[in-house]
Chains A and B, each alone.
Chain A
């Protein structure tokens, strides 16, 4: 259930919110929506791809985080080492309501143990809340910029489906469908005029970042492979234990 209300410094003065990443808070997603301004930070860790909204069929940009439903291979790094976490997850449990910030009071992060305050004694936003405000300053126009970028990609037939097939050492296979990337064949055939246009609009750089980020997929597969093997070893160790 959700109970989204506008954030109010008087009513919510003593509210504590836990902004850290956790499976319990819904950070276990294998794909999360991102905006174009995040691409440079994302590149060093995640494949930047496209997928379709299940309700509308429209494309959105996202970072791949795992191979299985509900799997986020980076969750540990987010909690332990503060790796870059996409804004769409950072911002939880906040929303915007018109130009105002709103909060979902039913979100498990609200009132959780270890939560941080949103306002200081003077009623000013704390550093945590300030980071949320900044996140939305990026997110709101960023979603629109990203939508226009995708529209241009579509017009130029630059999007193609990407089928990821991964085989792991425990003998299992994963087939990730519903993901899309840049069609490099079409890209290489663009006319000079279009290439210049894409360059001037900053799109060529975004396209390059998306292509470069594909190299993260085999790295992620290796991470996944190690975890599967660890799990198998633990199982085997368990099987060798004498029955009590």
Chain B
């Protein structure tokens, strides 16, 4: 085995860089301690981190747990809060009562029975979400997903986090350096040295000399310093599918320090895009993501001001350009891009951070032993990552393509078949006759958005799938048992769970126990 892979060098110290460093280092602790493997992260001393969305996916719990991070400290140091899903208002009809949940709990008994046909058959007043899971009600009641006696990372209801990305990256940095042996180099990369075969051999830095490595991970953000600038991998623009290209972001303080906090991300549809509203303990993060082809900046600022209310006058608004799309390939030679360097999509379903986790995990598990096998692994990595980006694009587009809004050009243009990916069009045809569940498309082991997510969006937005009455009759006894179970669980949770804000305060004061 010549040219073993022993030194991993990560460029960029944002959320992507530190998560990748932590996930790889945690997986390879034994080799690192024995001195046969190293992880180095180099970041510029003065580049400001772009907070790419403050919502995570529940996978973050196991990622952090495996890294040995204390959840209590996450809450205390990152202004973190619980996230139990998303509530989408105004996406279907734009009427005042138009809203649905995409919760994080799968429908009751999801692995045993698909409850969609039973809900469709009933045609009752209950939303699909309320029919199959307690989580929408928990959100309506402002309840937390767990109690103070549940151990770190354990919950009664499934949950993810809302957090301050500006605090999260330094928090991970401290943990990675102190506990996982990641070498942290503060220096500007001024040149990238390549070998004859095009592989990156080392980085020349202004402050720390030369950094050589066997595998380089590009977490440098939009600039894609290694994969884009150095290796010349092109960018695949997706703005013909997802139109939003600008975000106006602000932070809104609470009126009182004990004001109730939502544990769902609020996504409210507007004339030319949508507004996110994320509750952290100290403030709400609010932003308007819109299509500059469908709205002027002035009109967008007015829309945001209207949502924020009177307070908007005192609050600074930051404008962030969004370029929807991703690199043509993600791993070339001995360089892999993760995070914004790999690509970006509007933060509608918090897909950015989860994709970082999945890529880092795949890298950690498939870490090439030597240069000889790297191209093989790279090919598989690229295939899986392409698939994932495609699925995310499909899933985000699904939110738009099911709209019945015709009030503005933005919504009308979104349902134009020319803007809908082929695979999504096929699935929409298929779903008229069968609902997404197991045994179909969703057989990949680590699907970014599971079939349950598609169910919540489809049936939250009023999609109809034909049901066979004979078929539902056959599984009716099982369905009613599951629904009774769900009702029981709902009652227990409503009775036991504390208010979201209350539990977060309690965690700050007393902490959560590790077991």
Contacts from A to B (Cβ < 8 Å)? 52-59, 154, 157, 159-161, 178, 180
Contacts and interface: CB of A to CB of B under 8 A. Distances in A.
Contacts of B148: 52, 54-57
B515 A56 contact: no
Q: Is the interface of B mostly helix, strand, loop or mixed?
A: loop
A57 B140 CA distance: 25
Contacts, number: 35
A137 to B, nearest CB: 28
A52 B515 CA distance: 10
A180 B149 CA distance: 12
Contacts of A58: 510, 513
B514 A59 contact: no
Given A57-B149, A57-B506, A178-B149, A52 B513 contact: yes
B512 A57 contact: yes
Nearest to B72: A57
B511 interface: yes
Interface size class of B (residues with CB under 8 A): 10 to 19
A154 B513 contact: yes
Contacts of A52: 148-149, 513
A171 B277 CA distance: 52
B514 A157 contact: yes
Contacts of A56: 148, 506, 509-510
Contact of A160 (B147, B149, B511, B515): B515
B500 to A, nearest CB: 16
27 contacts: A52-B149, A52-B513, A53-B149, A54-B147, A54-B148, A54-B149, A55-B148, A56-B148, A56-B506, A56-B509, A56-B510, A57-B148, A57-B149, A57-B506, A57-B510, A57-B511, A57-B512, A57-B513, A58-B510, A58-B513, A154-B514, A154-B515, A157-B515, A160-B515, A161-B515, A178-B149, A180-B515
Nearest to A160: B515
Given A57-B513, A154-B513, 9 more contacts: A52-B148, A55-B148, A56-B148, A56-B506, A57-B511, A57-B512, A58-B510, A59-B513, A159-B515
Nearest to A54: B149
B19 to A, nearest CB: 25
Interface of B: 147-150, 506, 509-515
A99 to B, nearest CB: 27
Nearest to B509: A56
Contacts of A157: 514-515
Nearest to B512: A57
Contacts of A180: 515
A235 B149 CA distance: 39
Contacts of A57: 147-150, 506, 510-513
- Among B150, B506, B513, B515, the one with the most A-chain Cβ atoms within 10 Å of its Cβ is B515
Contacts of B511: 57
A59 B148 CA distance: 11
Nearest to A51: B149
A58 B148 CA distance: 8
A157 B509 CA distance: 22
Contacts of A160: 515
- Among B148, B150, B506, the one with the most A-chain Cβ atoms within 10 Å of its Cβ is B148
Nearest to B511: A57
A161 B514 CA distance: 11
A59 to B, nearest CB: 6
- Sorted nearest first, the 3 A-B pairs with minimum C-beta distance are A57-B148, A52-B149, A56-B510
Contacts of A54: 147-149
A53 B509 CA distance: 14
- Among A56, A154, A157, the one with the most B-chain Cβ atoms within 10 Å of its Cβ is A56
Nearest to A59: B513
- Among A52, A53, A54, A157, the one with the most B-chain Cβ atoms within 10 Å of its Cβ is A52
Nearest to B507: A57
Contacts of B150: 57
A159 B151 CA distance: 12
B140 to A, nearest CB: 24
B510 to A, nearest CB: 4
Nearest to A180: B515
B282 to A, nearest CB: 22
Nearest to A153: B515
A161 B515 CA distance: 7
A176 to B, nearest CB: 14
Contacts of B510: 56-58
A161 to B, nearest CB: 6
Nearest to B513: A57
Contacts of A53: 149
B497 to A, nearest CB: 13
B131 to A, nearest CB: 28
A191 to B, nearest CB: 16
A184 to B, nearest CB: 14
A178 to B, nearest CB: 7
A183 to B, nearest CB: 8
A180 B515 CA distance: 9
B504 to A, nearest CB: 13
Nearest to B154: A161
Contacts of A161: 515
